Amino acid sequence: MNQTEKIGFVGLGIMGQPMSGHLMAAGYEVAVYDLRREAMEIAAEHGATPCASPAEVATLSDIIITMVPDSPDVEAVISGDGGILSGVQRGSVVIDMSTVEPATGQRMADLLSEKGADMLDAPVTGGAVGAQNASLSIFVGGDEAVFARCRPILDVLGASVMYMGRGGMGHTAKLANQILGVTAMLGVSEAFVLAKKAGLDLEAFCEAATQGAGDSWHLRTLGPKIIAGDFDPGFMAKHMRKDMRLAAQTAISLDSPAPVTALIGQLYGALMAAGLGEEGHHAIVKVIEQMADAEARA
Confidence at 159, pLDDT banded by 50, 70, 90: very high
pLDDT above 80: residue 1: no
> What is the per-residue pLDDT for 2?
56
- Place 234 in a pLDDT band, splitting at 50, 70 and 90: confident
What's the confidence (pLDDT) of residue 3? 80
Active-site position among 174, 238, 242, 286? 174
Instruction: Name the residue with higher pLDDT: 2 or 36.
Output: 36
pLDDT in tens, 174-220: 999 999 999 999 999 999 999 999 999 999 999 999 999 999 999 99
Whether 286 sits among the annotated catalytic residues: the reply is: no
* The pLDDT of residue 287 is above 60: yes
Q: In the predicted model, what is the mean pLDDT of residues 273-281?
A: 97
Closest C-alpha to 258, from 240, 246, 270, 267: 246
Nearest to 46 by CA among 77, 6, 14, 19: 19
Indicate if the pLDDT at residue 39 is higher than 90.
yes
Tens of pLDDT along 79-89? 999 999 999 99
Rounded mean pLDDT of the chain? 97
In the chain, the domains with their CATH numbers are 7-166 (3.40.50.720), 173-292 (1.10.1040.10)
In the predicted model, what is the mean pLDDT of residues 93-99? 98
Residue type, 226: I
Three-state helix/strand/coil letters over the chain: CCCCCCEEEECCCCCHHHHHHHHHHCCCCEEEECCCHHHHHHHHHCCCEECCCHHHHHHCCCEEEECCCCHHHHHHHHHCCCCHHHCCCCCCEEEECCCCCHHHHHHHHHHHHHCCCEEEECCEECHHHHHHHCCEEEEEECCHHHHHHHHHHHHHHEEEEEEEECCCHHHHHHHHHHHHHHHHHHHHHHHHHHHHHHCCCHHHHHHHHCCCCCCCHHHHHHHHHHHHCCCCCCCEHHHHHHHHHHHHHHHHHCCCCCHHHHHHHHHHHHHHHCCCCCCEHHHHHHHHHHHHCCCCCC
- What torsion do the CA atoms of 120, 140, 245, 11 make, to the nearest 10 degrees? -60
Q: Is the pLDDT of residue 64 over 50?
A: yes
Number of other CB atoms surrounding residue 7 within 10 Å: 25
Record the pTM.
0.93
Q: Write out pLDDT tens, residues 123-152.
A: 999 999 999 999 999 999 999 999 999 999
User: Would you state the pLDDT for residue 160?
Assistant: 98
